[in-house]
Structure formats: C-alpha cells, structure tokens
Structure 1
C-alpha cells in the first residue's frame, strides 16, 4: 500500500530542508570570516604594521612614565622630603597598569602572528573538504539550526568548533560520524504523536529568523576590524608610507626617551642617591 503524504507537510519538509542547507552555508561563511579570514588579515596587519605600532606604543609608555617619574622626584626635591625610589616605582606600576596590560596583549598578538605566519597552510582541496564537512555537521548539531540539543550534542559542538578553528580535517570527519550517531539516537528517542505539521512550521520560522540575524551579523563583521583594512593591506604604497611614518615616530620617541632618562640621571648625585 502506497503511503500518502500530506501535501502541506511535504511542502514544509522541503522548505525546512532548503533552509537547513542555506543556514549551514551562512553559518560556515560566518565561521570562516571569524576563525580564518579575520585571523589571516590580523596576522598580515601585525606582520606589516602591528609590530612597529607595538614598538612605538612601548616607547610612548616609557616616555609618559619617565615624565611622571621626573615630576614626582622634582616635587619631592621642591618640598624637601625624602625620595623613596622604590615607592615611586610601585606607584608608577599602579598608575600605568592599564598600559602595561595593553603592551602584554600586543606582545602576545605578535607572538601568535609569528606562529601563524610559520604554520603550514591548508591546500585548496583541504579547505573545500573542511567547509563541506563543517556544513554537514552544522545541519546536525549547530545550536542555531537545532533548538533542542542535548548536553552531549552541545559538548560535541564545542569540539567541532575547536577542530574547525584549527583546520583539523581528520578530527572534523570523526566528529561528523559522532554527530550522525547522536542524531540517530535523538530521533529514535523523540518519536511521538505530536502534530508534525505544526512542529515543521515552528522549525521553518525558527530557521528563517536565524538566517536574518546571521546575515545582519555577517554584515557587521565585514565592516569591523580587520575587514575594514583590506584595501589598505592590498595597497603597497600605503603600507610603505605607514611603515616610514612609524619608523620616523619611533626614532623621535627613542631620542626623547634618551633625553628624559639623561635628565633623570642628572637628578642623582655621584653616590646614586637622589638629591633632597
């Protein structure tokens, strides 16, 4: 006996399948922007410009600190109070804590950029396979596609995210098989007599709203750093001019810092203790 399928259910099921395919592509596009393209652009920027900006910012922090130290020492001299250099240094560390943390973060970004620059890149074929496998998993266990994931599926998705970010294709394949097995179990456990048409309507509406939100988010990402500097990175003349500008500023900052340090030394007598 031939099974008769409700035309409305059939149409909704077809639409739901199409939306799952569409959102899997959009989600992968967004993940590629954030995890791969953004990282590559940021790495390129750091290698060409960021390292010089770090050197300049470090000098500027040292200049500001030296000026502040001179002011503090000069105030002690003017007031004829003892100068506790150790206390002054601790106070400076406290005042410039935010700048110190920013320097550490910039240094860390440079270390990561150096590492990524030396990493072996995926081939075109490997990239296609990575995208294809990721999209297939998205349909099965991505939170934006499925709103009733189990804790096991959520944990599995976290592992998928890590594998995608690092370009680990082999691990992604294994996780895909696990996602398939997991979905089969979930489908078996969740079979009941609910109105399938109403359920599909809800799922279709859910996916449509998610797609709209994701597309808006992607547009925001494309307008933000580092995507807003793509034209700059592709312009060799602009890069060269910026590098020359930074080199010039670095030399000027080095000269100024040297003068400030020399002035600090002048405040010390021959025995190395500050004047009072």
Structure 2
C-alpha cells in the first residue's frame, strides 16, 4: 500500500488527509477529483474488502458513488469474499449474468496461460530459494518506505521549513531586526555610560575612541547575530523571488528526487562509488533550490541498483541488510518527528494566522517605541557626562 500511496501522491492526487478528518465536512460532488481521492483513501486505510466499503459509506454524501469506486479498488487488491460475490451476482438478470460468465471464462483462461508461461520460464532458468525471495521482497519494500521517508524529511527540511521561515521573515523579519538592533544599541549605550563613569571615578581622561574600541570588542557577538539576521532576510527575499513550479512540475519534481534517492542515497545503497555520492549531493542541492532541470539531468544518468541474484550464501547478507535498513527507518522517523517539534516548523500555525501576525507586529512596534525612548534618555545622559 505504501507504493500505491506514493504513486498516487506523486502523479495524481494529494493524500495528506485522513478519513476521520474530513468526515464531518464531506459532501456530494460530481467531480472525480472530489470523489476519487477520498475513495482511494478509504481503501488505503482499510484492512479488508468489507472494511473499505464500510469506511466509504460512513462518509455519507455521495456514498453510493464513493462506495462503488472504493469497492473497485479494493476488489483489485483484496479480491471479493465468495459470499458477497454470490449475493451480488444474484441481482443480475439472465443476460448480464451470461456476459459475466463468458468474460470470467475468457479472462481466467488467459490469466492461467500467462502464469503458466512465466512459471515454466522461471523454472528453466533459475532455482528459487523461498526464504531468499521473501527477504528480497521484504528489503525492497523497506527500501521503498525508506526512500519515501527520506523524501518526507527532505521536503520538510528544504521546502516546507524554508517556506515557513521565508513567510515569517517577510512578514516580521524587518521589524524583528529593527527591534533587536535598537536593543543592542541600548545595551551598548548603557555599557558606554558605565565605562565613562568608571574613568570619571578614577579621575582619568575620557577618550571616546578608546571606549568605542572596547565596546566593539565586547559587542562582537551581538553584531554577528545582527549580520545573521540580515542573511536570513536576504535568503527569504531570494527564495520569494524563485520561480514557482506548476502543480505538474511539483509532482514530477518529487518523483524525480525520490527515484534518485532510491538509487543514490548512501543509506539505501552503502556500496556507492565516490562519484555517485557526489552526484547525490548535487541532487540534494538541486532539490533544495527547486532546480527541476538539474534533477531531470541527474535522473537520466542513474539506473536502479539491483539486489543480488539468488544463492544460499547471500541470505546472511540480505538478513543483515534488512536489519540495517530497519534501523535507518526508525532513525529517520525520529528525525522527522524532531523536525516537526522544533523551529521553524512549529511556526507553521503562527504564519497561517493573520490575526497572530498582526498581534506580533503590534508587540514589536510597541517594543521599538519603548526602546527608542530609552535611547534618547541615555544619549542625553552621555552628552551631559562629557560636558
């Protein structure tokens, strides 16, 4: 099901919702794009043919349509329980039942013929080790899951989190920079007063240039943080000026990257050459910068790395590979969770609320106003001390 979910998400519909989340608001729609995604989701969340139908009907609205679509999908995956099939066929009239029976005979004979050819061909060329085959299938499934999690992690790091930070900086970055700059200026003036007063107490000559040199050294970290804030603002502006991908390009973009990840990611393929590892780093850079042309070029250069052929000796290696990938999966899940519980992802609800943004703007403006008043007081005090 993970592969089905991935294929649908990359090429057809967004699957970033749960049935329980849409149950209260779901209503009838004649458009396929407003019924098919929900039907697919009913199937993906199901545990059996019957469960998928029950889930679809529970949504209400166009329950007959969505149940029919869900049933067709579930039929292909689970098959139909014999009792349900017999009950359904009982509703067909004589002519429809004849057509159904003729089609069943035709399709079954064709299917059995093809299976027989495939089976005979395999028997003639290789010896199948059942445990080996199960391990290979299991590892391939884990690799697919791992590549999807890598895509999710990188989508969070290089796209969603950067977009969140960009939106935050464009809305509030200017005011926050100004507030922090004034705060640093105020701290510097306070320290300047202390240094001047200390020299006066010792009856030393006050040389402002010397005091400024001391302040420059003491406030290096503050200045560094201001420069970092400027860099963030510039990055946000640059990102906002990037050419946005169309919906179709966005799907292709994710699919290209996931294909590259499956072939070139060092965690999935630990025996890569240095050249292929460098190529993967180029792919990461292209992904981070939304460079679909770069990903197309890299994707055209790589082919999928096959699992080793059957042999009894290789089974141990496959078992070790399965364990290695399983550990990577757990680590990646923890990393994704960590991203979602930290800045900037935690700012996502904030930037989606115009009310909260306006409140924050007013807070910053008020803080700036208060600091500016304090600055005037300290500047006047310094002038008085130097008379």
Measure how far apart 1:192 and its partner are.
11
Residue 353 (structure 2) pairs with residue 230 (structure 1):
no
Q: Distance in 2 between matches of 1:203 and 1:173?
A: 29
Q: Distance in 2 between matches of 1:6 and 1:51?
A: 65
Given candidates 115, 137, 143, the residue that maps to 2:260 is 137
Q: Distance in 1 between matches of 2:338 and 2:383?
A: 51
Residue 180 (structure 2) pairs with residue 180 (structure 1):
no
Tell me if structure 2 keeps the 8 A contact 1:156–1:179. no
Measure how far apart 1:99 and its partner are.
0.7
Q: Which runs of 5 or more structure 2 residues have no equivalent in the other structure?
A: 1-123
Q: Distance in 2 between matches of 1:85 and 1:132?
A: 62
Q: Distance in 2 between matches of 1:247 and 1:143?
A: 49
Q: List per-residue Cα deviations over 1:87-145 (Å, max 9, x = no partner).
A: 11111011111111001101111111122122221122111111101111111110111
Q: Distance in 2 between matches of 1:204 and 1:192?
A: 16
Given candidates 361, 364, 368, the residue that maps to 1:250 is 368
Corresponding residue for 2:218?
95
Measure how far apart 1:80 and its partner are.
1.2
Measure how far apart 1:259 and its partner are.
2.2
Number of residue equivalences: 264
Of 209-218 and 228-237, deviating more is 228-237
Of 190-199 and 115-124, deviating more is 190-199
Tell me if structure 2 keeps the 8 A contact 1:54–1:103. yes
Residue 169 (structure 2) pairs with residue 46 (structure 1):
yes
> Partner of 1:153: helix, strand, or coil?
helix
Segments of 4+ in structure 1 off by > 4 A? 190-194
> Partner of 1:42: helix, strand, or coil?
helix
Q: Distance in 2 between matches of 1:117 and 1:263?
A: 44
Residue 334 (structure 2) pairs with residue 239 (structure 1):
no
Of 55-64 and 255-264, deviating more is 255-264
Alignment of 1:101-250 (within 5 A): 101-180=224-303, 195-250=313-368
Tell me if structure 1 keeps the 8 A contact 2:132–2:310. no
Q: Distance in 2 between matches of 1:115 and 1:247?
A: 25
> Partner of 1:144: helix, strand, or coil?
coil
Measure how far apart 1:33 and its partner are.
0.2
Q: List per-residue Cα deviations over 1:176-230 (Å, max 9, x = no partner).
A: 232329x58xx9xx99988222222121111111111101110011000011122
In our comparison, the structure showing a higher alpha carbon Rg is 2
Corresponding residue for 1:262?
380
Residue 187 (structure 2) pairs with residue 69 (structure 1):
no
Q: Which runs of 5 or more structure 1 residues have no equivalent in the other structure?
A: 270-276
Higher relative contact order (CA 8 A, sep 6+): 1
Measure how far apart 1:247 and its partner are.
0.4
Q: TM-score, normalised by structure 1?
A: 0.90
